[in-house]
A and B are shown apart, each in its own frame.
Chain A
Amino acid sequence: MNKLFSTALVRMTVLYVVILAFVCVLFSSFIYRTASTEIDRTSRRQVVGFRNMIGRFVVDENESERLREAESSDAKRHLRVNLLLVNLIVIGGGAVMCYFFAKKTLEPLEEGVRAQERFTSDASHELRTPLASMKTEIEVALRDSNLTIEESKDLLKSNLEEVNSLHIMTENLLSLARQQEVGEIKMTDISRLLKSIAKKHEARFRKASIKIVVESGTTKLRTNADALGQIVTILIDNALKYAGDGATVTIGAVHKEEFVIVSVRDNGRGLSDEEMSHIFKRFYKVDASRTSSGSLGHGLGLAIAKQLSTALKGDISAISGADGKGVEFRLQLPIV
Chain B
Amino acid sequence: MRILIVEDEFKIANAIKKGLSQEGYAADAVYTGDDGLASALHDPYDLIILDRMLPGGYDGIAIVKELRSEKNMTPILMLTAKDSIPDRVAGLDAGADDYLVKPFAFEELLARIRVLTRAHNQKTPDAKLVLEGLVLDLRTKQATRESKTIELSLKEFSLLDYLMRNPGVVLTKQQIIDHVWDYDADILPNTVEAFIAMLRNKIDRPFASGTYIQTIRGFGYKMELKL
Contact = CB atoms under 8 A, between A and B. Distances in A.
B104 interface: yes
B35 interface: no
Nearest to B105: A139
Given A125-B82, A129-B81, A143-B22, A135 B11 contact: no
- Residue of A131, A135, A288 ringed by the most chain B CB atoms within 10 A: A135
Contacts of B56: 289
B65 interface: no
A119 to B, nearest CB: 12
A274 interface: no
For the residues of A in contact with B, the DSSP-based class is helix
B11 A133 contact: yes
Contacts of B16: 136, 140
Contact of B15 (A117, A137, A287, A289): A137
A73 interface: no
Interface in A79-103: none
A129 B55 CA distance: 14
A92 B19 CA distance: 67
A124 interface: yes
A144 interface: yes
B84 interface: yes
Chain A interface size, as a band, is 20 to 34
Interface in B76-110: 81-84, 87, 101-107
Contacts of B11: 133, 136-137, 158, 162
B216 interface: no
Contacts of A287: 55
A219 B83 CA distance: 50
A6 to B, nearest CB: 16
B152 interface: no
Nearest to A287: B55
Nearest to A159: B11
Contact of A136 (B15, B22, B83, B87): B15
Of all A-B residue pairs in the complex, the 6 with the closest CB atoms, nearest first, are: A132-B102, A140-B19, A132-B103, A128-B81, A139-B106, A125-B81
Given A133-B9, A139-B106, 7 more contacts: A121-B82, A124-B81, A125-B82, A136-B103, A140-B19, A140-B22, A158-B11
Interface of B: 9, 11-12, 15-16, 18-19, 22, 53, 55-56, 81-84, 87, 101-107
